[in-house]
Amino acid sequence: MGIFKRVKDVFLAETNELIDKCEKPLHMVNQYMREFSAELEKGQKALAHQLFIEKRQALLIANAEAAVEKRDRQSRLAVAEGEDQIAKLALQEKLLEEKKLAVYLKQYATIREQTNMLEERIAQLQAQSEEYNHRRLLLESRVNVASSLKQLNQSVISFQTSGMIKGFARAEERVLMVESELEAMNHFNALAKRSAPQYFDPALTAEIEASLALLKQPVSDAVETTEDVIAKD
């Protein structure tokens, strides 16, 4: 039982993560706009069909009115000619057409009311569509600005936490390398001086010996100069 629950939890977690990745604001808004446009298109088709019904009903009314007027003329003509039977038949047809006309007019009023309601609803949907388009443009601008700022902040953070630290580390390593090279150079120079052979200039031998003898004398006796010692010799 525990294994199935773990599998279910993993599946739900991965599914939710996938949905979160796909659920981008602009993509969602675009999808909503497509659905809204589809509903608006349905409304426009319904309005077109309603207008067709209205026009057809208006045609029935016009035909009924024409029939009433025709039967009225026929009944009057029959009365004038003394044809009472024909006049009665014409009046009967007139009454039937008048009843149909009354029904058609009542139906037309209902159809016209429905058409007005549908036209108002279409107008509202169109206004909402324009509003949503403006809101979508504003949202797109906000997303672009937020994305740019996010990238900029990420760049600054990356530079501060990695670039600067690595830069300072490289500079410090370079300074340590230069100091080490200088220390090594001084060390080898000192060794070279200690190991270098000592040579005396023959022309300065007498002066060197005199100066050495003078250094070896006690302080009280060291009154003669180097020149005096050389003169005695």
- Write down the mean pLDDT value for the chain: 77
CA gap 71, 87 in Å, rounded: 9
CA gap 167, 153 in Å, rounded: 20
CA gap 215, 51 in Å, rounded: 134
The reply to whether 61 falls in a domain is yes
Q: Which residues contact 79 (CB under 8 A, 6 or more apart)?
A: 87
- Residue 25 and residue 140 share a domain: yes
> Position of tokens 């039967």?
71
- Residue 120 and residue 29 share a domain: yes
CA gap 109, 115 in Å, rounded: 10
pLDDT in tens, 66-123: 999 999 999 999 888 888 898 899 899 999 999 999 999 999 999 999 999 999 988 8
Written as six digits, the tokens of 139 are: 């949202």
Output the pLDDT for position 132.
Answer: 82
Highest mean pLDDT among 8-22, 35-49, 156-170, 190-204: 35-49
Output the pLDDT for position 10.
Answer: 59
- Residue 223 and residue 115 share a domain: no
Using the predicted structure, report yes or no on whether residue 18 has a pLDDT greater than 70: no
Domain range enclosing 228:
197-232
Using the predicted structure, report yes or no on whether residue 201 has a pLDDT greater than 90: no
- Residue 158 and residue 56 share a domain: yes
Q: Which residue has the higher pLDDT, 50 or 159?
A: 50
Using the predicted structure, report yes or no on whether residue 135 has a pLDDT greater than 50: yes
The reply to whether 100 falls in a domain is yes
* Stretch among 140-149, 190-199, 213-222 having the lowest mean pLDDT: 190-199
CA gap 224, 233 in Å, rounded: 13
Using the predicted structure, report yes or no on whether residue 186 has a pLDDT greater than 50: yes
The 3 state secondary structure assigned to the chain is: CHHHHHHHHHHHHHHHHHHHHHCCHHHHHHHHHHHHHHHHHHHHHHHHHHHHHHHHHHHHHHHHHHHHHHHHHHHHHHHHCCCHHHHHHHHHHHHHHHHHHHHHHHHHHHHHHHHHHHHHHHHHHHHHHHHHHHHHHHHHHHHHHHHHHHHHHHHHHHHHHHHHHHHHHHHHHHHHHHHHHHHHHHHHHHHHHHHCCCCCCHHHHHHHHHHHHHHHCCCCCCCCCHHHHHHHC
- Residue 226 and residue 131 share a domain: no
The reply to whether 182 falls in a domain is no
CA gap 54, 230 in Å, rounded: 146
- Residue 90 and residue 30 share a domain: yes
Output the pLDDT for position 60.
Answer: 94
Q: Which residue has the higher pLDDT, 102 or 129?
A: 102
The reply to whether 186 falls in a domain is no
- For the whole model, what pTM was predicted? 0.50
Tallying the residues shown for the chain, one arrives at: 233
The reply to whether 191 falls in a domain is no
pLDDT in tens, 29-78: 778 888 888 888 888 899 999 999 999 999 999 999 999 999 999 999 98
Output the pLDDT for position 222.
Answer: 46
Output the pLDDT for position 193.
Answer: 61
Written as six digits, the tokens of 229 are: 């010692």
> Position of tokens 């409304």?
43
By percentage, how much of the chain surpasses pLDDT 90?
23
